[in-house]
Amino acid sequence: MLKEFKTMFWFLKQHYHRYILGIIAVLIVDGLQLLLPRILGQFTDEIQSGYISADRLNEFAFKIIGLAIGIFIFRFFWRFFVNGAARFLEFELRNMLVAHFLKLSPTFYNQKKTGDLMAHATNDIKSIRMAMGPAIILSIDAVILGTATIVMMILTVGWKLTLIALLPMPFLAIVVSRFGKLIHNRFRMVQEAFSDLTDVSQENIAGIRVVKSFAQEQREIERFQVANRNKFEKNMHLTKVWGVFDPLVEFIAALSFLLVLAYGSIQVLDGNITLGDFVAFYGYLALLTWPMMAFGWVYNMLQRGSASLARINALLAVTPDIADTHNQELSKFNEKPLSLQNTTSTMSEAPKTSGTSETSETDVTTLSGENQLDIDFRNVTFSYGEDLQPVLKNVSFTCKAGTTTAILGKTGCGKSTIINLLVRQYNPPQNSIFIGGQDIFDIPLAELNSTIGYVPQDSFLFSTTIQQNIAFGAFNSSIEEIQKAAYIADIHENILELPDGYDTLVGERGVTLSGGQKQRISIARAIIRNPQIFVMDDSLSAVDTQTEERILSRLKDFMKDRTTIIIAHRISTVQSADLILFLEDGAIVEHGTHQQLLDLQGRYYHMYHQQQLEQQLDGFLPEGSELV
């Protein structure tokens, strides 16, 4: 158990002064507490003598009040110093954990549940705080007070009565040892059940619209009740164990009182000890009861903290698979800002089609023109797992700076994977993707991310205002710049129609906005960063064709001097691109301009005419008519 806490030495070194001050305060409190039974014993003897003056009575009263005030003050200080240090640990651990979460790639989150991660960030860190704060100071208090109390008991009435009072102690040690491992295992099961319950709750809240749309409220209620019942049962198992453990410790402590009362009374009656000494001894025994019970509480907190710390350490030990490499200092990105040149590009070779996924390294789709920000994919083969089939198969192409490259294909053909590798949400093979002639691994992640304006498929919005969502990543932007980006994305007019305009709160994940509005705000968010590389991953799927035309028209000037990659399902979105790649089963099977691919009369040609026919049916056939 204690080996887990070795990882907390860094914190103890950092805040050792707080713990030292807390221990000093504990020593003072324990010293003051040890004086109280002696004062009560003296008071009892003087009362028994038959005479005590009013002044002497007042003296005893002031001593007791003074001790109580001193205990109150210094107990506050040890709690302030030690529990305050534990609060700092909670604060720092939570910051460390969330910062670590933000460094991890989608691969990590594909394997973890949100509920588990939330439980780690709340309950587990709380348990660690309790172990590093109250558990530490209470254990020190119990050892110091217990040892000092035993010494005072021996000095007051001798070793015989003290030994009798301590007879139940070995049984206490056995109880703590036997129950400790059981409590540890039960608490681990409680935490796992809590994680499952949190995960179900989070899914139900996040997916409430889907639940209601499919009328599955009752099913989800039952699913939650199952998880809640499991959590309840695990808690009850722990409660039962704790319910036996705690009273058992108190029972063992009560045995000490019974033995002392029986033997001590005989000693008083025989005149071996005074009544005052017996009262003092009984007071010391009452003080000793607290350390006996505290050991049980401390052990429980340490067990919980140990289990939680093991889970937190396991999370913090996860190495980010997407990270800067040792070669990053060689990157030209660190030497000077990236720049673009205005270029006019034409196809350097005729379109071609392929029925296989094989492409030689020299057989690369290119555009003419020179620029340092060419994007170059060289024979990229990639899968999302060692045991999984490749999603991309020997993909090679070059996108020249200042040109637009479009990628089309059926769902699941690998289009988004190309973008995921380009923005390094996943690691591509070494020496396979180059930007400006540099291996993408040699470009610092921060520089890469600031260079690419990425509009993902999932138009995620934060629970804040439209203005803050657009300015995300460019927080120093002026309102004029925000409005300009919104205008290019064709969302400015819609925003002005809202009651609060740009200060409108969008709700969780942008729930108050339509899919098309969220997509356009995401586009504006990428535009305002003024990136040198602009990437859109099927970012116009939720807008109508007229809105799409306006957005593309306004984006035309914006994309003029930028390297642009657009993924789309509608050919109307990409037909003006300088280069169009058609993917099938992870391989480029056709490439060229729009007209060249039509002339080829291959897969692109058939998709184009199919979409043309669908548009004609949507626009011209009367309702209820059938195409013969």
CATH number at residue 158: 1.20.1560.10
Confidence check: pLDDT of 77 > 90: yes
pLDDT at 422 over 90: yes
Question: Total domain count for the chain?
Answer: 2
Rounded Cα distance between 93 and 129, Å, is 9
Task: Please provide the average confidence, as pLDDT, over all residues in the chain.
Answer: 82
Please tell me the distance from the alpha carbon of residue 201 to that of residue 538, in angstroms, as a whole number: 31
Residue 168 pLDDT exceeds 50 = yes
Q: Which residue has better confidence, 339 or 615?
A: 615
pLDDT for position 2 = 62
Q: Mean pLDDT throughout 310-330?
A: 76
Maximum distance among all Cα pairs of the chain, rounded to whole angstroms: 122
Is 99 within the bounds of a domain? yes
Query: Residue 197, by phi and psi: left (phi above 0), alpha (psi -120 to 50) or beta?
Result: alpha
pLDDT at 353: 37
Which among 145-159, 248-262, 325-339, 581-595 has the top mean pLDDT?
581-595
Tell me: the pLDDT tens digits for 252-265? 877 877 887 787 78
CATH assignment at residue 564:
3.40.50.300
- Structure confidence at residue 578 (pLDDT): 92
- Rounded Cα gap, residues 349 and 351, in angstroms: 7
CB 426 within 8 A of CB 105: yes
Given this model, what pLDDT does residue 495 score?
93
Helix/strand/coil for 569: coil
- The end-to-end CA distance of the chain, in Å, is 77
pLDDT at 85 over 70: yes
Question: How much is the pLDDT for 331?
Answer: 44
Residue 23 has pLDDT above 80, yes or no: yes
Q: Same domain for 221 and 311?
A: yes
pLDDT of residue 56: 80
Mean pLDDT of 395-420: 92
Task: Answer whether residue 433 is part of any domain.
Answer: yes
Average pLDDT (525-545) is 88
When mean pLDDT is compared across 47-51, 323-327, 472-476, 558-562, the lowest value belongs to: 323-327
What's the CA gap between 542 and 549, in Å, rounded? 13
Domain of residue 613 covers 351-457+532-619
What is the reported pTM? 0.69
Do residues 280 and 371 share a domain?
no
484 in a structural domain: no
**Adjacent-strand bridge partners of 438:** 435
**Residue 405 resides in a domain:** yes
Q: Contact, 312 vs 124, CB < 8 A? A: yes
Task: Report the pLDDT value the prediction gives residue 424, as an integer from 0 to 100.
Answer: 92
Segment 462-483 shows an average pLDDT of 90
Element (H, E) at 548: helix 545-559
Of 244-253, 342-351, 489-498, 523-532, which gets the smallest average pLDDT? 342-351
- Is position 47 within any domain? yes
Average pLDDT over residues 555-574: 88
- For residue 332, the 8-state DSSP code is G
The whole-angstrom separation of Cα 119 and Cα 125 is 9
118 assigned to some structural domain: yes
In the prediction, which pLDDT does 455 show? 92
246 occurs within a structural domain: yes
Clarify whether residues 311 and 391 are in a common domain. Answer: no
Given the structure tokens 């070194």, which residue do they identify? 13
Same domain, 213 and 95: yes
What pLDDT digit, counting tens, does each position of 120-138 carry?
A: 888 889 889 998 998 888 8
In terms of domains, do 309 and 423 share one? no
Which residue's entry shows tokens 């003056």?
A: 53
